[in-house]
Every structure is written in structure tokens, then in C-alpha cells.
Amino acid sequence: MGTALLTDKYELTMIQAALKNGTAHRTCVFELFTRRLPSWRRYGVVAGTGRFLEELHTFRFTPTDIDYLHGEGKLNDDTLSFLETFTFSGDIYGYAEGEVYFPNSPIMTVESDFAHAVILETLALSILNHDSAVASAASRMTGAAKGRPCLDMGARRAHEYAAVSAARAAYVAGFTGTSNYEAARLYGIPAIGTAAHAFTLLHDSEEEAFAAQIDSFGTDTTLLVDTYDVTRGVETAIKVAGTSLGAVRLDSGDLGVQAVEVRKQLDALGATNTKITVTSDLDEYAIAGLSSAPVDSYGVGTKLVTGSGAPTSSMVYKLVSRENSNGVMEPVAKASTSKTSVGGRKTAVREFNDDGKAASETLLIGTPEDTQQWMSAHPQARPLHVPLVRSGQVDATWTGRDGLERAVARHHDSRAELPRNAMRLSTGEVAIPTVTHTLS
């Protein structure tokens, strides 16, 4: 299945009008960015870049697509001919996947003629808006967990394929496993999961259910101990599995109080190495609230795959520079109320304080020569843009399983650069300001 029809109609109607009046082949620069973060977020996380680049490979209009568009009767033969042979041949650069971002960060920049660039709008936005929202939520969760593993259990709370991309985005931001087998197969994310309450209810007794699970998977498994009574469930779990039981799971009630009581009970029974994992509608606030409890890992579902209150990153895709009728590139900007944009091709860098922490997101507008001169005078600044596509050729560095692991590492290092206030969960200002310098 191709991806070309996963788009909005107005992209194709704009192309038709531009082809007819001769502007379709003007060189253009489009930027993907967000104007603001949710009030309770101090930073965002770029995710989905690798998926976008992989989808770009299949962004072709098949004969079936062309037949459908022809049958609709809205596009003329010249437009259909253009679409029939469409292959993106421009350049794309942007933030490496896993990088943190802020308002107006030029997360992705597409340079091509108008027709080849505008057609990518919906593909890029639909992927990055979703995946970055999940990764941004996941980063706050892994930050609140302070090194304890967070596990994705959200497949049943999302569209079947959105659940797969959500698992990947969560992994970028530090989650260590997923319950979704398709995500595990595609991306090499460790698959996790043992049994639900239904398995206990299937059997005549809790002891019989635990024994069946241990018989099948050994003692290095996780037993769900709250189907009936937690105290009796823990007693039964250790009776059946012995003190080498891998873990118990709590899925209801006051998780903090129960974790303390279960830890004491396990230790008293000699199961000092048996871990405690908790589930039950967790989010970053619940995880932070459990920081002092003897919890070893967190299973997160609904709040993860829905972006924990922000299901989209509100990213937009705007034209910021274009070739005029004289063949000269000039900046353009939208001036609509509350929806302004900043014109001009931008280079993004991150500047740092003397303590090595990020101080600002700096956007440089100017010629490559001006930008290079500025960079030479600010050697402490870290360039944020990396090449993603050159003359239509995708840089495989950022795709596949290897690209995903690079994204994980980039997020780990990028988040570590942020000042301490970035980890606060309360409403407040973004972690660092975004500043713009016009160099020429």
C-alpha cells in the first residue's frame, strides 16, 4: 500500500493551480514547527522522523490512486501526469529524532520546488504531531520515574496502528518495553506481559492459576496478585513460586500504600529480590507521587498513547522563503493574529551556560556564510540540524532499528543538557527561551 493518498486534498489543488500559472517550480523553503507548548510542558521531544523518512520511500501515486483521482473529476490531466511520476527530489534537514524542542524550533526544513515540497505537508505533520506528542509525554514519565523502568501497555487504548507508532515514540523517550507484539517485531523493542485477571478467574483458585503460569514460564515471571485480596495473593504467589519469584503486579487501589505493605510482606516471606510493578491508569504525576514507594517499574497505558493531555504537538508546516518572479529567494511570513510565523531560512543551534546546561534555542537567519561566521564566533553552541534527505536520497542513518537506537541515545543526552527546571511537572515557562538573530 502506498502512502500518497494519506494527504489532504488542498495540497493537490494548490499544485494544479500552481502548475497552471507557472509557479509550481519556484524554489521554496518550508518549515515544520510549533508555536507553543502545552502550559504544563517545559520542553517537547522530536519523534517520528525515522518513520517519516521510511514512509517517504513509498510516497508514490499508484495507478489505482491515479484512477481514483481521475474518476473524482477535480484534477486535470497535467496535474495527474505530475502526480503519476512524482518522486521527491529535494533536500530535507532537521532536528535528529530524540532531540528536545521548544516553541518555534525549526524541527524539519524542506527545500524543493513548491509542488514537491507542499505535497509532503500532511505526511510530515500527521507522523510528527502524533509521535512527538507521545514522546513528550513519555519523557516526562521516564523523568519522573528517576531511572525505574517504564513499560508501554497502551495498545488497547489507541487505534491499532497508532498503538505501534506510540510504542516506538515511547521507546525514543526512554521506555524500555512494550506489550505490543507488532511494535516489538518491527522495532526490536523488548516485548513484555504475562497474565491478566481473566487468567486467574479462569481457574478454580488463585493458587491453581499461579501454578499454571509458573509451570509454563518458570519463577522468573510476574504474578498479578490483586484479583481478590492482595495480602492473600502475595502469600499464594510465594507459596507456589518460592522466594525466587521474579515480580508481583499491583493493578488497583492505593498503589503507594499497597506497594509499601507488599514490600514488607515479601521481605518477611524471604522474597527480598522479588520486584513490584504497578499499573492502573498511571501518568507522570502518579509516577512522581510513587517516587518514595518501593516500586520497581511502571506500566503505563491510556495516558501514554494519548499524549497525557496533549494528543497532538500542534505542529504546523509553513512556507518561510520562496523564489520570487525575478528568481531571487526572499523571506515570507504569515501575519494572521495568533498564527504568525517568522520568515527566512533558519539554522538552529543550542547555546549553553558556563555550567554546561542549555541556555537558549537560537535561530540564525542569514546566508550560509553569515551563519558560519556566527558559529565560528560561538564555538560553544551546538548545531541542531542534521541532513535527512539529499537530492531525494534518504540518509539511512536515521531509519530502521539503528536509527531508532540513535534516537534513544540522542534523547538521553539532549534531556541531560536541560536545566533542572525542565523536569518540573507544574505549569510554568518553557525550560529555555527561543531567540532569533537576523544576520544579514
- Interval 70-120: pLDDT, tens: 999 999 999 999 999 999 999 999 999 999 999 999 999 999 999 999 999
Question: What mean pLDDT is predicted for residues 16-44?
Answer: 97
CATH of the domain at 208: 3.20.20.70
Asked whether residue 146 carries a pLDDT value surpassing 90, the answer given is yes
**What mean pLDDT is predicted for residues 42-55?**
98
pLDDT-derived band of residue 1, with 50, 70 and 90 as boundaries?
A: low
Tell whether 159 is covered by a domain: no
- Domain CATH code at residue 88: 3.20.140.10
Q: What is the phi/psi pair of residue 199, to 5°?
A: -70, -40
pLDDT above 80: residue 338? no
Q: Which residues contact 325 (CB under 8 A, 6 or more apart)?
A: none
Q: By percentage, how much of the chain surpasses pLDDT 90?
A: 95
pLDDT of 308 above 70: yes
Residue corresponding to grid cell 506528542? 133
Mean pLDDT of the chain: 96
pTM of the model: 0.96
Same domain, 227 and 202: yes
Closest CA to 425 of 286, 254, 305, 303: 286
- Say how far apart CA 20 and CA 398 lie, in whole Å: 37
In this structure, what DSSP letter does residue 223 have? E
Range of the domain at 113: 9-134+310-438
Same domain? For 30 and 102 the reply is yes
Residue 365 lies in a domain: yes
Closest CA to 364 of 337, 340, 345: 345
pLDDT at residue 3, rounded to an integer: 81
How many structural domains does the chain have?
A: 2
Spatial separation of the C-alpha atoms in residues 25 and 15, rounded to whole Å: 10
In a domain, 388, yes or no: yes
